[in-house]
Amino acid sequence: MSQVTIHPSTIEGIKRLATTLKREKSITHTRALDAAARVAGFENFRHAQHSLPATLAGRGGRPDQAVFISTYWRDGDASGRETMALQLRRPMPNFLRASHLVGELRHFRWDADDHLECRHDIRGQLTARNLANKVARTLVFMEATGLVPAGTREAGTLRRLVSRMPGRDHSSMWVDPSDGFTVAVDEPYQDPTAEFLAERVSWLGGRGLALQVTRWGGLYAPPYSTMCLVAEDGVRLDRIVRCLDGLRFEAPAGTWAGDSGAYAPPFVSPARKASGKPKRGRPAPPRAGEVRRGATPYHIMFSAVVSWRPAQPIPVAAHREAGKLLLALLRVEGLPARIRDSLGIIQSELDEWLQREATANAWSRRNLSGVYYGDRHRRHLPRGLLPTAAVARVAEILDGYPDCSPARAMKRRLATIGRWLTAMPA
């Protein structure tokens, strides 16, 4: 009797293995199909049939490399697990690295060479499905184009120009790691009318950039968004768009072609099984009001995962000073896009913290909504206060929080902004 060591990743492969198992074990065809499906990492053959139809038909080649995406969710007393199975032409390690787990991928960990697993519980089944779909679209895009997420030091000129593009919405930056060729992706909600495209083409053309629109659904929220791509090399951009136009996998928002199962036990992929290594545990989901190492969890509207803030507040007066400084910093002329974007992230996060501190401590909400966003057109840095000093002062204000991961992360971001400001030409 042969030793079964293969792990099929397609329905056809499962059927071939089932034929072998039926002959070797003298079992019925139905039992053999279920046994073969379990070898492939599924609960039974029906589970495999439900999970594996989500396939990619890309630039040619046989799509036979299975990649799994799993998310876990809770909604009151209800809970569950959503698992998407993709069939790609290349193994995931061939086009994805741990350093690429940014954007929507930042919520996931590399559990195995064929499995990305969400680190935290998601709030609700629909949100968990939409997040898995979005990650699946991202993997399909990366595998098909060879592009990877651009770092903050990459695509500086293109990033700066696209940040000022008319109608910019849901933008992301991508780079070809082989030669540094950069592409900006922008996905506005509306369908691109002739007038909309003409305005963009004119604006971008005057800056030496080309624009293409793909028929593929895109990354953000197909069919409600449209994928526009921008790059300096129009010929090369056209090749990328033709590649995307040939994709048939879209996983539109609000749909689900994966498997829905119980929260436990966790999903174990074929590669994890083959490795013989035990599966790592996921962090225990936080409870409302819980304090972990000086931080407490909260949910941001429309966000898929839990965020954390310092468990103890700083005074409202400290928030007001930080808000004035951030508003004034955002008024400074000539700031690069990366500095503005980072300041905007800090501004938004501190506003979230303030609102939740007000709720937790029963503060009056009168005038709190304008602390970080109000009166923005009249804010300027005090005379003689340099932007670097203003950033340093915001960091000093944050020292009023207890030492915890969220506060440290924000101060690290401020330190990075300070270095960027120092490096700017006088």
CATH of domain 154-233: 3.30.1360
Chain segment 49-107, per-residue pLDDT in tens:
655 544 333 334 445 688 999 999 988 889 999 999 988 888 899 889 888 888 778 88
Specify the range with the lowest mean pLDDT, choosing from 89-103, 133-147, 191-205, 395-409.
191-205
CATH of domain 295-423: 1.20.1260
User: Tokens standing for 299?
Assistant: 């949910």
SS3 331: coil
CA distance 85 to 78: 23
SS3 94: helix
Q: What are phi and psi of 52, to 5 degrees?
A: -85, -15
Rounded to 10°, the helix 387-398/316-329 angle is 160
Angle at 405 between CA 404 and CA 411, to 5 degrees: 95
Please tell me the pTM assigned to this model.
Answer: 0.65
Chain segment 367-421, per-residue pLDDT in tens:
777 788 876 555 688 888 899 999 999 999 999 999 999 999 999 999 999 999 9
Contact (Cβ atoms closer than 8 angstroms) between residue 19 and residue 53: no
Contact (Cβ atoms closer than 8 angstroms) between residue 82 and residue 71: yes
Q: What are phi and psi of 346, to 5 degrees?
A: -65, -45
| Residue that the structure tokens 């609000």 belong to | 254
Contact (Cβ atoms closer than 8 angstroms) between residue 243 and residue 146: no
